Structure 1
C-alpha cells in the first residue's frame, strides 16, 4: 500500500513516478523497499492517465430510475454487479 500512496504523492507533487522516486518515498515512510514491487507498480502505471482514473474512481455511480411499469429486480441486480465490477477494476489499478 505504501507504493500506491507513494505514487499518488509523487503524482500530486508533479514528480515522475519512477523506481528511484518511489524508493525515496517508501523509505521515508519507514517501510521496507522492495524493488520488484516498485518495478511492477511503475510498469502498471506507464501510459495511465492518473487524473482520469482518479476522477472515474471517485465519480458516483448513477442508478437508473425504474420504468413506470416497474423494472424487474433482476435487471437492477445485474446493473449493480456490473457497476461494482467496474469500480473494483479501477481499485485494482492502484493496489
Structure 2
C-alpha cells in the first residue's frame, strides 16, 4: 500500500511518477523498496489519468450520500432511472476493479 501512497504523494506534489522518485519517497519513509513492485507500479500507472480515477472512485460515495440527504426525491424516481444508475455504478466498479489488482 505504501507504494500507492508514494505515487499519490508524487501526483499531489506535481512530480513525475517514476521509479527513482517512488524509491526516494519510500526510503525517506523508512521502507525498503522492492524493485519489482516499484517497476510494476510505474508500468501500471503509465498512461493512467490519476485525477479521473480519483473522481470515479469518489463518485459512488457521493451517489450513496445523495439519497440519504433527500429521501423523498429518491422515492419519486422512476424504476428505469434506477436501473440506469445501477448499470452506471456497475460499469464504474468494473473500471475500478482493474486498478484494485495493481494494489493487491
- TM-score normalised by the chain length of structure 1: 0.72
Unaligned stretches of 5+ in structure 2?
Answer: 65-73
Detail structure 1 runs of 4+ shifted over 4 Å in the superposition. 61-66
CA-based RMSD of the aligned residues comes to 3.3
Q: Would you tell me which structure has more helix in proportion to its own residues?
A: 2
Q: Over residues 36-92 of structure 1, what are the superposed CA-to-partner deviations in whole Å (9 max), with x where a residue is unaligned?
A: 00000000000001100110111126488453xxx9xxx7xx85x936843751651
Alpha-carbon deviation of 1:19?
Answer: 0.3
Name the structure 2 match of 1:3. Answer: 3
- Partner Cα separation in structure 2 for residue 88 and residue 17 of structure 1: 20
Name the structure 1 match of 2:13. Answer: 13
Unaligned stretches of 5+ in structure 1?
Answer: none
Corresponding residue pairs, total? 89
